[in-house]
Every structure is written in C-alpha cells, then in structure tokens.
Amino acid sequence: MDGLVTTAIIGLSLGVEYALLSLGFTLIFGILGVINFAHGGFYMIGGYAAYAAVHFAGMPFPAAVATAMLVTALLGYVCELLLIDRYVSDHLTPMMITLGLYLIISTALIVVFGPEPADFSFPIRGSLRSGGIYITYANLIVLLVCATVIAAVYLLMYRTDFGLALRAMADNREVATALGMRPAQYFPLAFGLATGLAGLTGALVTPTLTLSPFLGDSILGMSFLIVILGGLGSLGGAVIASFIVGIVEAYSRVYLGGSKGALALFVVVLIILVVRPNGLMGRIGRPA
Amino acid sequence: MTGMKFSQTCDRDRRVGGYGLHVAAAIVALAAASGAAQAQECQVKLGAMGPMSGGAAAWGLALRQGVEFVAAQANADGGVQVGDRKCRVSVMSYDSKYSAEGAASAANSMASDNIKLIIGPVGSPEATGAKPVAQRNGQITFNSSYAKDAIGPETPLAFHQLAGPAQWAPKIVAAAKQKFGIKSVVVVAPNDQGGTDVASVNAKAYEADGIRTKQEYYQRGTTNFAPLVTRIMNENPDAVDTASSPPADGATMVKQLLEAGYGGVFGRLGGPGTLEIIKAAGGVKELKNFYWLELVPTEDEKIVALQKDFKTVMKADAPNNTLLYTAAAAARMVLKAVTAAGTADDAPAVAKALHNLEPVDPYLGKGTWKGKAAFGIQQELVFPVGLGLIVDGKSLGVTAVDLADSK
Amino acid sequence: MRNMLRTIAFTDWLSIAILLAFAIVPFLTGDFFTLSLTNQILIAVTAALSVHIMLRMDLLSFAVPAFMAIGGYAAAMTAQAGATNLVVLLAVSFASAAIVALPLGALVLRLRGVYFVLVTFIFTEILQLLIFETPGLTGGSNGIPRIPAPTLGPLVLNTNHLIVLVSICVAVIATVVTMGLTRRYGQEFASIEENETLAQSLGLVAWHYRTIGFVVAGGIAGMAGFALVNLLLTAHPTSFTSMSSVFYIAYVLIGGRRTILGAVVGSCLLVWATKVFSSHGEYSAGFFGLLLIIVVTAAPNGLVGLAQHLLGRVKPRSASPRPEVADAHV
C-alpha cells in the first residue's frame, strides 16, 4: 500500500515538472509552429546559470533561480530575433536552426563547465515523512513553485491582452496580422517566455537531481512526447498529458522496471495517438 | 573582369623568366628543408581515440590527456629512440562518439594519417566498431571496454588497456562482504552495453560469494530515479551497487536512495565519479558505508607524483577521471615497444615487442599480461587497482589491490 | 510543368552520375580516410533518400533508424545462417523493412504533421528497447558481432575497396527506386503535399499512395541499414538510435528537400564535415551545429535549391520561359 502511494506521489511530482517543462515547448509550437530542438539546451542553461549565480556570484538560491529564468528568457528572445524570426513561415528551417543551437549550447556547456556533473544541490535537505510514505522538502517546494508558475502562465494567456494576442496568433496568424497584430513584436516575446520557462524548470529541478551537460536529449524527447500527446498548442492538453505521462512512467518503472517500464510508456502513448490522431485536446494538425 | 585577366596574362608573359627562377629556388629550398628534417627529425604518431563529445566525453578527454602527457614527457627527454634515431612523439585525437561507426570511422581517419598505434577506444560499442577495422588497417588499439569480447584471438592487434570486471569483481566483492557482512545486493546499470557488460559480471561475482543478487537496468537517459529507488526500496537489499552507471546517474541514485530512507551500504564497481557521489550524498558522514573500485590505487604516492608531474609538463591540473593513468601507462608501453621493435610503422612488429615486454610503469608499478582465461588471448595490461572504503561515516582511503594472482 | 519534369530529370541524372563517380574512388586510391568517407556518404545518401520520399508527401519521418535496424539485423541474421550472397542480402534487407512498414503504415499514416513525427520517433525508441529485450534473437545490448562478409559467386567482398562497391550498389539501387517512385507517382505526391483534402475530393485515394511511399521508404532505409552493418561487420543497437534520425533529416534539408540531388549533396557535405570536425575533440558537435545554422540561414531551400535559384537568375533566357524552379512546388 505504501508503495502504491509513494509511486503516486512520484508520478504527481514528475507530472508537475513535466507540465512546466512542456508549457514552454507548446507555446513555441502553438504560436510559431516551430519544433524547438534547443528546448533541452535552454533547460540546461537554466541549471548552469543558477549554479553559476550561486557558486560564483554568491547569490541566494531563490535569486539565482530568478536570474536563471531571466538569462534564458533573454537568450531565447535574442535567438528568435536574430536567427529564427525570418524563417518562421517555413517549419523545417527553424527546426534545423534550433538543432544547430542545441549542439552549440551543449558544446559550450562542456567546454565552460567540464563534462563532469556540477556540484549543485538544493539548499534544503530532509523529507516530510509518514510511515513508509515520504516526500522531500525540495520536491515539495519545486511542486508548489511549478504549480504557481503554471497558474501564472494560465492567467497570462487567458486574462491579459498580451495572452489574447498570442492566442490569436496561434489560432490564425493571417487573421491576427490582418487585425493589426505584429508577429515581429510577439514572436520574440513568446519565444523568450518559453525558453524562460525551460530555464526556470532547469534551475529548479536540476539541483534536486544532478546537473550535467548531457540532460538535453532526454528533456527534449520528454517535452516533445507530452506536447504532442496533449494536442498541438493546447496548454490544457499539455498539462493533462504531463500528468498522464508522469503517472504511467512512475507506475511502469516501479512495477515493471527498466526497459519494460519505458516500453510500456511508449506503447501507451502510441495507442492514445492511434485512437486520437490529434492528441488529447488537439485541433487539426499543422503541416510538419 | 576580362580586362583584368588580359593584363595578368601580359604580366606573366613578361616575367616568365623570373617565375622560373623563383620556382627553381623554391624547389631547391623545399628539398633541402625536407632533407634536413629527415636527418634530424622523425616522428612517432600516437592516436588517442575516445568519446570527446556527448555523455561519455569525460572518459575520452582524460584518455587523450594521458596520451598527450606521455608524449610531452618523452619529447622533453629528447624523443623516443627508434633504430638509431631519436623521434618526436606527436598525438592526434579523434572523437569516436561512443558509437561503433564513430570508432570505425576514427580508425580509418587515423589510418589515412598513417597512425598505426592507437590508445583507445573507450566504450564497448566503440571497441566493437574499431576492432575489425583496425585489424584490417594494421593498427594496434588499446581499448578500455568492459565487453566480454573486448579483445580476442581473431584480432591479434587489439589490446586491453586495463583489468576487466572478471579480474577485479571477485576480489572487491570478497572484501566488501567481509567488511560489511552483505547478504543481499541490487546491481543497477543502464540497459545498454556499457551497463550490462559490467553489471552482469558483478552479479556473477556476488552470487559466487553466496550473496542474494538482483540486477536492475534502467533506460539510458533517465534523469529522475525516484521510480527505480522505490523499486529498490521494495527489495530492501543490504547493498546497492551502481556498477558502471555514468557519474551523474550514480550521484542522483545515491541522493534519492538516501532521501527515501535507505540505510544500507553503497557500492560502485565499474564507474568513475565517486567524488560526485560523495558530494551528492552531502558528505562522507551521510553516505556512511561505501565501497568502490578505482582503476588505479589513487592515494598511492606514485599516483600523486604523476599528478604533480602532469601539472609541471602540461601546465594544467590532471583530470579527475582515472582513465588518465591507464591510458598513460598503455602509451608508455607502446613507446617502449616501438624502441624495442625499432619501428613505429609496423604494427605487428610492435605488437610482438609488446608481448616480450615486462609490464612496468614508473607510476603504476609492476603489472602483468593477462587475458588468456577471459578472452583467449594474453593481451590485457593489468596493473594493481584500488579499493576505496567508507565505513560508519569515516573514510578509510583507497588501498591497492594486486591482481597478479587473479585469473 | 514539362520544364519542371525536365529539371527534375536533370538533377536526378546528376545524382546518379555523382554516385557512379564514387565507384572510381576505390580504383584511384587506397587511402583509408577517402574510402571510409565514401562509404559513409553512400550510406547517408541511402538513408536520406528514405527521408526524402516521405517529405515529398509532406511527412517528416523519424523512423529511418528503426527501418535501418530491421534491414541491418535481418541481413546480419541471414548472413550468419549461411546465405551470404549479396543479392539475397540486399533483397532481405529491403523486404524485411518493407514488410514491417506495411501494417505500421496502415496504423500511423492517418496521422498528420507533428503527430506523425512523434509516432515515428516513438517507433524508433520502441524498436531500440525491443532489441535490448530480445538478447536471444538480436544479441541484446551486445549486438551481433562477426558477421560473415557478403559474397558474389566465388568473390568474397571483404576488403575496404569491395565494401565501397557494395555501398555504391546500395546507394544506386536506392536512387533508381526513388526516381522511379517519384516519377511514377510524382503528381499524386505533389497533390497530397499541396492539399490532401482537395486531392481526395478529386478522387485520389491518398492513403493508397502514402502507403506505397511509406513501404518503399522503409525498404530503402532497410538497405541503408544493411550497408552500415556490412561496413562495421557488426549489427549494434548504438548504430540505430532515435537521435541519429535527426541527422538524416538534416542531410536532406541542408542539401535541398525538393530533389534527389539535394539528399546527395547534403549527405556529402555533412558527412565530410562530421569527419573533419571529429579531430577537434569536444568542439566537434559545436562546429557541426554552427555549420547547420550557417547553411540553413544562407540557403533555406537547401544548397540545391539555392543553386537552382541562382542559375535561374543568371540565365533568364534559357530554353523555357519559367526559370523559378526552386519554387515550382510552393
């Protein structure tokens, strides 16, 4: 019984982390129509920026996390403006650009910080415990912050003019442009917001696990899987998919273990997609 | 455009005599220079092959630094004796990307640069890819793979740089059992060849010692080990051996096991990164009980001397990864064999000289050639390894374990 | 339209000519670097053609490494069972991948755009895990080592030179098959790419053509897998990771997605660059990334697209009045 509850807690905390991670990915997807291959790269930059802020600038952890978010958001903004913006109308060219960016980011992190994992851990240790069931304080804090940020993103998208404009862009770029909204203004902002969210997740989550320059691939794979499963560009779908993936992953890895657990997760996703070809809450497909 | 071309042609016509003179002078100068170079300088080219990007980069980079260190030392002594000449040692490195085709391609690139003596590759997929190609190309390789077929009789130019798990696992397991009274263990490693090669051999060693053993394989790329930790906690073993899982994975696992309330012993037979694990646990006290393998006895005074010499010669700190030491030892053996064989181009001759050389290293001490029992060919370069211990929250340091009497 | 066909035909012939020109390489040089580079380019071209076919139908496939694995492992097992004849191995590698592609296609070809991308990505991941979980059949994480070299009558194809010839054989067959397919179904593919709903309402049974394309693309990837396994003499799971699919896609997009020549040019440039960068240690991946960004921003339609565009501009009064070939489909 304890095992079942502990697994559920693991699944939920995985779900919340995945949700924050994939919000950024789905924003870029929905609004720009770009598969951002550098998403895992920005996650790592977030982690290393927070690490550098704590270890070299002596910042307190919360300030370091905020700095990391700002740094990644700014980097994302600049990358969009300089590299991606001109090619947004094509879907494949930005994909190649972000792939190139990702390779450059990983290389730069290895060269600057070395290939070994960085010495970066959450400032608070210990766990909340009741019998065999437990959750670490670190995870609890991450969970609360993630939930708050997700709520904030929701409010931003559905209760502000900025959000309305972004959603209009996502729904129909031509109409939105005809109504006087300028993509040139909104695209870099949307991209920066998304990479900032990735950076924030990296800064929060990597100290509870391990910060190394090789996390990008699996982070990208996971975000991609969740966002598509949720339905293209749907914020609600991404959140629901995050929890489904988190729970399925937790139970399959605990009770099936290793390769079989991973296999179970992929098969579940495959079945869902075959039954619902546009994802859980998706509209019609956008061309690749 | 056309006008310019025309004037150039005129120009050339007028100066044709001058041109000829220049060319002649250049040819003479070149010939003289190359003649002089041949008389004074010859070159022994060593290849350093390993993963230098991606998740296993720390290994390849340490290996390269080991080879570069030996080359720099040899050059500081005036070069390596080949026949009646002293030759400079140069090192070329290639990123073999921890994949079979990366290593095969690296071996071919080195062959076209006329590199016949290669230290590396590192991982099992790389060794699988490099062995047949290097054999075809007439190149010696010194891989550090833990694969069951890392070397073999069908590739007589492939050597093994270090002792494999079949050599050290029984000894370390016996020591750990005696120290901690372990009755059950879970061995954890990634589900690819880099994991299964070591974990399966470790598991056999535990079982042979009467320890109840379970193997757990996780998907490579996993970042959160909470599900796996829950699975291990359900087993409630006396010890958890993180085997050859990468340093980041091992560190996360140990951290999350401690958070889950695990109170047993930790083991690490196969992978580097014990420093990261101690840090992730929050210190030696929190880690409490830990046994691990080091590729070399890291606290031996001669090893410390190597770190100092490295700093003097290379003007940089020695890397943390212990593959540095075994790669350096292999490179040194190869250079000795070059002197003994009187050639750096004939790989079979150098291989033959290697067989006749007693493995002695100024830093690693006396070693032995092994491999007949495990691989069917006596080409495994075995020096003493290290056993590290933390008992009841106190570090007992790393002691040397001699493998001369193992199989 | 006729002009477009003629141009495509010209670039296709150029592709074949380039590939056949590689056949001279083993006779000119014994240099290991050159031979190994040639081999890798030819394998990359074959894999990239599989991506190209799918892109002609506006589908981006990440399943190329999966089909390569199926073809490669099937050929490896056949050779180990004693059937080492090159023709047999080629047929086995093509057929095995194509046979798997048929039911899979029925299942996933309903998906569009990024949904299709994800499903093909997951398929590659699943196949990789299945290899790990079936050590009895596939050797698990250790792969299948020491595969006997293919034979052609009394000739054993086991030297560096002969391996290049096998790879050329594979690449040329793949190109001819792709040419045949895109010629035969060129119009159908084009109308699917432009507007499937319209195509369907005009009576074009889109799924029928898509299935043909998917099965042939799978078979071609299977042959690429055979060529790779033949080069390494080993079938190993690390040769077929899902991340490698990204690079095959890059070869096509960098070269130009509209023509077969694009796949050839992109493979040549990027494989060569990878080899050159490999001697720069930890910087290699970064250089590759930089190259991708530079090429793709300078030539968003790929290098061949750029060349066609430039040629079109330089010779505005060539045989026909429609010079803008690069945009013919858009």
* Three-state helix/strand/coil letters over chain B: CHHHHHHHHHHHHHCHHHHHHHHHHHHHHHHHHHHHHHHHCEEEEEEEEECCCCCCHHHHHHHHHHHHHHHHHHHHCCCEEECCEEEEEEEEEEECCCCHHHHHHHHHHHHHCCCCEEEECCCHHHHHHHHHHHHHHCCEEEECCCCCCCCCCCCCCEEECCCCHHHHHHHHHHHHHHHHCCCEEEEEEECCHHHHHHHHHHHHHHHHCCCEEEEEEECCCCCCCHHHHHHHHHHCCCEEECCCCCHHHHHHHHHHHHHCCCCCEEEECCCCCHHHHHHHHCCHHHHCCEEEEECCCCCCHHHHHHHHHHHHHHCCCCCCCCHHHHHHHHHHHHHHHHHHHCCCCCHHHHHHHHHHCCCEECCCEECEEECHHHHCCCCEEECCEEEEEEECCEEEEEEEECCCCCC
Where do we find the tokens 């001669």?
B302
Query: Which among B247, B256, B261 is the nearest to A116, CB-wise?
Result: B247
Residues C191, C61: contact at Cβ < 8 Å? no
Q: Is C221 left (phi over 0), alpha (psi -120 to 50) or beta?
A: alpha
Q: Is C214 left (phi over 0), alpha (psi -120 to 50) or beta?
A: alpha
Residue B261 at interface with chain A, using a CB cutoff of 8 Å: yes
Per-residue pLDDT of chain A (288 residues; tens, 9 = 90+): 688 999 999 999 999 999 999 999 998 888 888 889 999 999 999 999 999 999 999 999 999 999 999 999 999 999 999 999 989 888 889 999 999 999 999 999 999 998 888 999 999 988 888 887 899 999 999 999 999 999 999 999 999 998 988 888 877 777 788 877 777 788 999 999 999 999 999 999 999 999 999 999 999 999 999 998 998 778 899 999 999 999 999 999 999 988 899 999 999 999 998 888 888 887 644 444
- What are chain A's domains? 2-275 (1.10.3470)
Which residues touch B16 (CB under 8 Å, ≥6 apart)? none
Query: Which among A273, A284, A286 is the nearest to C119, CB-wise?
Result: A273
- Among A212, A218, A215, A160, CA closest to A189: A160
Residue A205 at interface with chain C, using a CB cutoff of 8 Å: no
Query: Which among B57, B64, B94 is the nearest to C278, CB-wise?
Result: B94
Total-model pTM: 0.87
Chain B partners within 8 Å of A106 (Cβ) = 53
What's the average pLDDT block by block, 10 residues per block, for chain B (407 residues)? 36 40 47 44 92 84 96 95 94 91 90 93 92 92 93 95 94 95 96 91 96 94 93 95 92 94 95 86 94 94 95 92 95 97 95 95 94 93 96 95 82
Residue in chain B nearest A7 by alpha carbon: B227
Comparison of pLDDT for B238 and C35, the residue scoring more: B238
Query: Which among C160, C278, C281 is the nearest to B136, CB-wise?
Result: C160
Where do we find the tokens 């026949």?
B83
Chain C partners within 8 Å of A261 (Cβ) = none
How many Cβ atoms sit within 10 Å of the Cβ of residue B284? 13
Residues A279, C115: contact at Cβ < 8 Å? yes
- A232 and C123 within 8 Å at the Cβ level: the answer is no
Chain C partners within 8 Å of A286 (Cβ) = 113-114
What is the mean predicted confidence (pLDDT) over C278-303? 91
Q: Which band of pLDDT confidence, cut at 50, 70 and 90, is reported for residue C328? A: very low
Chain B partners within 8 Å of C241 (Cβ) = 99
- C33 and B109 within 8 Å at the Cβ level: the answer is yes
pLDDT at A91: 81
Separation in Å, CA A33 to CA A171, A173, C113: 11, 10, 11
Interface B-C: count of C-beta contacts within 8 A: 115
- At residue B394's C-alpha, the angle toward residues B390 and B396, to 5°, is 55
* DSSP per-residue letters across A209-249: S-B-TT-HHHHHHHHHHHHHHH-TT-HHHHHHHHHHHHHHH
Residue B249 at interface with chain A, using a CB cutoff of 8 Å: yes
Chain A partners within 8 Å of B191 (Cβ) = 258-259
Q: Which band of pLDDT confidence, cut at 50, 70 and 90, is reported for residue C323? A: very low
Tokens at C282, concatenated: 């930890």
pLDDT at C1: 46
Query: Which among A106, A228, A266 is the nearest to C125, CB-wise?
Result: A266
Residue C234 at interface with chain B, using a CB cutoff of 8 Å: yes
pLDDT at B19: 46
Residues B109, C36: contact at Cβ < 8 Å? yes
Beta strands B42-50 and B85-95 are parallel
Omega before C237 within 30 of 0, i.e. cis: no
pLDDT at B407: 61
Query: Which among A103, A270, A274 is the nearest to C289, CB-wise?
Result: A103
pLDDT tens digits, B27-42 = 444 444 444 444 446 8
Residue in chain C nearest B50 by alpha carbon: C281
In chain A the first and final C-alpha atoms are separated, in Å, by 45
Q: Which of A96-110, C26-40, C219-233, C312-326 has the lowest mean pLDDT?
A: C312-326
Which residues touch C54 (CB under 8 Å, ≥6 apart)? C60, C61, C213, C214, C217
Chain A partners within 8 Å of C254 (Cβ) = 96
pLDDT tens digits, C125-163 = 999 999 999 999 999 988 998 899 999 999 999 888 899
pLDDT tens digits, B197-239 = 999 999 999 999 999 999 999 998 899 999 999 999 999 999 9
H/E run at residue A49: helix A39-55
Residue in chain C nearest A277 by alpha carbon: C111
Chain A partners within 8 Å of C300 (Cβ) = 87, 90, 93
Residue in chain B nearest A113 by alpha carbon: B58
Residue B317 at interface with chain A, using a CB cutoff of 8 Å: no
Chain B partners within 8 Å of C141 (Cβ) = 191-193, 195-197
DSSP SS3 for A135: strand
Chain B partners within 8 Å of A14 (Cβ) = 224, 226
pLDDT at A286: 45
pLDDT at B38: 45
- A250 and B227 within 8 Å at the Cβ level: the answer is yes
- B191 and C142 within 8 Å at the Cβ level: the answer is no
pLDDT at C6: 53
Residue B95 at interface with chain A, using a CB cutoff of 8 Å: no
Comparison of pLDDT for B184 and C189, the residue scoring more: B184
* Distance in angstroms (rounded) separating the CA atoms of residues A95 and A39: 11
- C122 and A225 within 8 Å at the Cβ level: the answer is yes
